[in-house]
Structure 1
């Protein structure tokens, strides 16, 4: 038996479908899903460039001529340093680079309004976190791409690649014994630490600059009418402060 749907039921079904579509569209818009997804994709490309083969530069050598017919080959002293532990570990870099801006932003949005007049920007925490994610993803992608295309040797290349010092080098043969160490030893430029720190601290600097420049009060302790229209009503303004502004506007009109 065929099912019969009355005409009266069609608008209800349409409203139900549109409400579901509108709900997902609203959630996607409110949580900036598309922007976050693009950032995740950029992280994926950065991981791709980090895993593929690095540009293979010829290992530098120094020819030492012993006589008219004999020469020996020496290692380049600029990449013959000993590998040392990182002064700033990766976990500290990410923790401080991301943690400091996030903590400052939370302080500005939730703690500062309790004792200072500030302008509250809708969805500021969400948008600030999105900016951090976008900035670091773009910096990571560009850094890994450039590292892969450049293949510049680190100052401790021989030590990182476990160079075989027991064999007399002919100036050509690759005597590295660690493939992973050799690959990492060819990623000297650009600095991943510097690019990540720059990406996060630049966002923090912009936030602090906008916050400090956006809170400008007259010397009397009240905003002018022009400033009030720009900044909006302060979150913790006293009643007499608001009355004072309106009284000044009325007096100017009279």
Structure 2
């Protein structure tokens, strides 16, 4: 801890207070409740056996949930943490993790709730179901059949757009001091969103979701992540500032006040 205090600015640990602890409790609650929802019985719609939209073949998915979640969170958080260490700001690192995990957690909570309550059948549901005319019931594996009732909204899409929306907003905010080029900023925005869009497209290609599922999932991830990001960071499109926002108490001074060496450098340049 002592070495960390020496590395970071003197007041970098001012974020460690009750208000932020409460925020972290809510983040933990988002993830916990979204997990507990999986134990609630899914709303079971009637099965329209002649509906061609749910009669597609069950195929191998191009990207798994675990891989998608890992990419959508690990890449942005690794980069933001590295930048925070370079800038010697634990506030930078803290706000990055808090806003990213809050956005992804809120996204997951909304997504899982809707999946459970809407119960829309996936495009490959009949292939999972293996309907038996004599039994008048599905004979496929229970886990596969139940999973086939969770088409709306797309969890892959919401997860990818949540992580990449955070990443886009963060990159734009950090690039403000390095370039004023509109096309450069557009390029920065395009790369992460290209990944999220690709994930959404694969879900339709793999017959895991209908088009409306991935569109709504993407909107959920985008909105949830943007709201959480703007809670702890400045709007990168209206205020060019790479620093986290002042949120509680004296955090404004801890975040906005330049470090002592930067201040002395500024005075020296004036002289």
Q: TM-score, normalized by length of structure 2?
A: 0.58
Q: Which has the larger radius of gyration?
A: 1
| Aligned counterpart in structure 2 of residue 33 of structure 1, from 21, 27, 42 | 21
* Structure 1 unaligned spans of 5+: 1-25, 63-75, 114-119, 218-226, 248-254
Q: Find the residue that maps to 1:55 and give its secondary structure.
A: coil
Give the match for residue 70 of structure 1. Answer: none
Q: CA deviation at 1:234?
A: 7.8
Give the match for residue 43 of structure 1. Answer: 31
May I ask how many residue pairs the two structures share in their alignment? Answer: 185
Distance of 1:110 and 1:80 partners within structure 2: 52
1:146 aligns with 2:114: yes
| Aligned counterpart in structure 2 of residue 89 of structure 1, from 26, 41, 64 | 64
Distance of 1:208 and 1:98 partners within structure 2: 14
Contact 1:59 1:174 in 2 (8 A): no
Give the match for residue 129 of structure 2. Answer: 161
Residues 7-26 of structure 1: CA deviation (Å, up to 9, x unaligned): xxxxxxxxxxxxxxxxxxx8
| Aligned counterpart in structure 2 of residue 195 of structure 1, from 151, 158, 179 | 158
Across the aligned residues of Structure 1 and Structure 2, the Cα RMSD in angstroms comes to 3.3
1:204 aligns with 2:152: no
Give the match for residue 244 of structure 2. Answer: none
Q: TM-score, normalized by length of structure 1?
A: 0.62
1:53 aligns with 2:41: yes
Distance of 1:28 and 1:234 partners within structure 2: 19
Following TM superposition, the consecutive aligned residue runs of length 4 or more in structure 1 with deviations greater than 6 angstroms are 234-241
